[in-house]
A and B are shown apart, each in its own frame.
Chain A
C-alpha cells in the first residue's frame, strides 16, 4: 500500500483493501496468544487525538498501537464552534514539533482529516469525521464478514437505521460495493439522505424488504437525541418499525449474521435475544477491530516495511 493517509474508503482500491485484510489476519493470530506484542513500531510515536468522545475506537487504536510496540499518547479535546481557541492546524503543528510519527484523529466535523492531511507531512488515520467516513470500522466489518462468509462478492448486506448521520453507513457502502457485495439501506424516511442511491445502495421503504434474503444484517446505533427532534416521534415507535427482533431476523437467510458498530441501544434498534443470539458477531467485530487497526498502523507507519511473515518470525524470536 503506497499512501500517506487513510482518510476514507472511497479512495482505496479493492487491492489495497485486500492487502489490509490480509495483513490483519496474522496480527489477529498474534494477539490471540499469550504474548500479544510485536516490535514493528518500536520507537514510533502514535498520537490518538479525539475531538469527540469515544471509548471503543480510542481503546482499540491504543491497543493496536501498543501491540505494535509504539509509544502512544492519547489526547481528548472538545472542539466546536462554541469553543474558541487554537485552530486545528496549529494544534497539529504543535504536536508535529514534538515529533509525532502518526496521528489517529476523530472529529465531529466532516472533512477535518482531509483538511489536515493536505497540510501536515505525517500519516493521518481517520477514526471518524462527522457524518463522512469511518474507514477502519468498515475495514473491520469487511474482515468480520469475510471471516464468516469466506467471501464478500455477491453477498446481500442490509444496513438499517439512521443513514443520514452515519459515517459507518457511508464507509460500509463504499467498502462493500467495492468488494462486489450488494447493499440495501433502510430507516425512517427522515434519516435516509438524498443521493445515497448514487453511492451504490438500494433504498428499501420497509425493514422487511431490506431483510428479505440478506446474508448480513447491519444495525446502526440510533442517537436518542434524534427522538422528538422531528426525525422520528418516539423510541417506542422506532422499535416498532425498525427494531431487529428474532421474528424479523428470520426473514434473512438462515445463516445470516448480525453486526453492530456499537455501542448498542438494546430495545431501540436491537432486541436482547438478537444481540445475544447465535447470529450476532458484535464481539468478533470488536476483536477484529484491533487486528485491522494494527494492520493499518503497520502499513502506514513503516514505509520500508518488511514482509508481515518476517514480522511474525521476528515476533517469535
Chain B
C-alpha cells in the first residue's frame, strides 16, 4: 500500500497528552511515524496546514436499522454518514429486526460490515433474549463472535433480579454493559420531558424520575455485584448527581452524553417539532447545564450520538405518533466544538478525549490513539470553518435532525480509516 503523509497540521491526541504541530506518516493501515517535520519523499501527501488531525472519532451509540428497516438506514448509508462526520468507528445497537442476539446475527452483522461499511463497525448484542428483559443471551458465544458490548438499548431491563444476573454474568464474560435507563411505568405514554412545556403543549410527559430511579437501582446493583455499567444518554441533573456519587464511592460506572442533550432544551419541542422528539427527551435548561457540568468534571466520560434514523413520513405526523430519535453522526463534532469548546466549557483536548480514547477505554478497543503502530484511523477537522448544516449534504438515508439550517463551527474535512481516505473536503469517497 502506498504511504500517506499528513503534513503541516496540528495533532491533538489526548491519549498521549499531545497537542502540537506534527506530521503523520501512514503505511499499511498503521501509523508509522508521528513527529514534527517528517522528511518523506515517496509518500502521497495531504497538506493539512491550518487543520487539526485527531485520532479517528468513535461513536459508541448508533442505530443502523439493518437488517429489517433498510428504508431508514443501512450499513452503507450509516457508515457514509459516519465518514462525513469524521467518525471512524461506530457501535450499532442490537435493536434491529431480527435483534442481534445469536451467533448467526453477529455473523450477518460482520458480513454487512465487510461488504458495505466504509468505517469500522463494532456491533453490540442484546443483553436479554428478544430484549425482553427476561432471559440472558449467550454472552460468551456472542463475545467470541465479535460482540463488543451488551445492550438492550431502547428497552430497559425492568426486572431488578434479571439485572442483577446480567451484571454478574457479563462481568464474568468481560463484556461491557450499556444501559438505557428508563422505568417504563413512570415514562408510560410520555412523548416529551414532563414540565412546563409538556403542560403548555398538552403532551404526555416523561418525568426525570423515570431515568433517575433506574440509574439509582443499577448503581446499587453494580456496587452489590462488583460489576460495571455504562449509562447511555444521560439527560437529567439528578442523574448526573447520582453517577457522580456512584463514582465517588468507587462503583464501576461510566456514562455518556449526547450532543442534543448538551445543546437543546425541551422548549425545542414547541410547535410540535418531531425533530426534537427523542428518548430520553430534551430536558430543562438546568438539566442541560448539569450535563455540561458532568462532562466538565468527568462524571460523564464521553460523548455519543444515539444516531437514530427515521424516514420523513414517520416523523411527519402527529407528535404522539412520531417515533423517538434523531440522526447525529454528521453533527457530532461541530456540535461538540461549538457548544462545549467555543462556549468555554471544555478545552479542545478534553473534548477530543471524550470522542476518542474514552469510548475506546469503555469498550476495551485498541483505538483512539495516534501512537506509532496504532491503526491509522484519523479525523482532520477545520476548526475555523463556520457553516450551515444543510439537508442536501446529508449522507444518512434519513433527514430527522433539528440541526438542519443551524450554523456551527468546526467541521471534519478528512476521514481516514485504516489508512484509507473515506472522506476528503466534505465529500465521501469510500
Contacts and interface: CB of A to CB of B under 8 A. Distances in A.
Contacts of A3: none
B257 to A, nearest CB: 24
Nearest to B194: A194
B200 A130 contact: no
Nearest to B319: A111
Interface in A170-219: 170, 193-196, 198-199
A88 B320 CA distance: 13
Nearest to B207: A194
23 contacts: A81-B320, A81-B321, A87-B313, A88-B317, A109-B319, A109-B321, A110-B203, A110-B320, A111-B201, A111-B203, A111-B272, A111-B318, A115-B319, A130-B203, A130-B320, A131-B202, A131-B203, A131-B204, A132-B202, A170-B199, A170-B200, A193-B205, A196-B199
Contacts of A131: 202-204
A87 B201 contact: no
- Per CB-CB distance, the 3 closest pairs between chain A and chain B, nearest first, are A132-B202, A195-B196, A111-B272
A110 B199 contact: no
A196 B197 CA distance: 10
Nearest to A112: B318
Interface string B297-332: 000000000000000010011111100000000000
Interface string A276-316: 00000000000000000000000000000000000000000
Interface string A89-127: 100000000000000000101111011000000000000
- Residue of A111, A112, A129 with most chain B CB atoms under a 10 A cut-off: A111
A167 interface: yes
Contact of A109 (B200, B316, B318): B318
A161 B204 CA distance: 18
A194 B202 CA distance: 11
A133 interface: yes
A115 B272 contact: yes
B9 to A, nearest CB: 45
A131 B320 CA distance: 12
Contacts of B203: 110-111, 130-132
B250 interface: no
A172 B307 CA distance: 40
Interface string B368-400: 000000000000000000000000000000000
A195 B202 contact: no
Interface string B337-374: 00000000000000000000000000000000000000
A123 B202 CA distance: 22
Nearest to A193: B199
- Residue of B199, B272, B318 with most chain A CB atoms under a 10 A cut-off: B318
Given A195-B195, A195-B196, A198-B196, A110 B201 contact: yes
Contacts of B199: 170, 193-196, 198-199
A195 B207 CA distance: 13
Given A195-B200, A196-B199, A114 B271 contact: yes
Contacts of A88: 317-318
A82 B306 CA distance: 27
B202 A170 contact: yes
A157 to B, nearest CB: 18
Contacts of B198: 193-195
B318 A107 contact: yes
Contact of B316 (A89, A112, A167): A89
Contacts of A199: 196, 199-200
A194 B195 contact: yes
B272 A114 contact: yes
Contacts of A196: 199
Contacts of A81: 320-321
- Residue of B201, B271, B316 with most chain A CB atoms under a 10 A cut-off: B201
A167 B320 contact: no
B202 A130 contact: yes
A196 B198 CA distance: 10
A112 B204 CA distance: 14
A133 B319 CA distance: 15
Nearest to A133: B202
Contacts of B313: 87
Interface in B242-269: none
B187 to A, nearest CB: 15
B318 A194 contact: no
Interface in A44-87: 81, 87
Interface string B25-39: 000000000000000
Interface in B194-224: 194-205
B396 to A, nearest CB: 22
A193 B316 CA distance: 28
Nearest to B203: A110
Contacts of A109: 318-321
Given A111-B319, A170-B202, 11 more contacts: A110-B203, A110-B319, A111-B272, A115-B317, A115-B318, A131-B203, A133-B202, A170-B200, A193-B198, A198-B196, A199-B199
Contacts of B318: 88, 107, 109, 111-112, 115
A110 B202 contact: yes
B178 to A, nearest CB: 28
Contacts of B204: 131
A291 to B, nearest CB: 26
A170 to B, nearest CB: 6
B188 to A, nearest CB: 10
Nearest to A164: B199
A111 B271 CA distance: 8
A87 B317 contact: yes
A49 B316 CA distance: 20
A94 B424 CA distance: 46
Nearest to B197: A195
Nearest to B269: A111
A201 B25 CA distance: 67
A196 B199 CA distance: 7
Contacts of B202: 110-111, 129-133, 167, 170
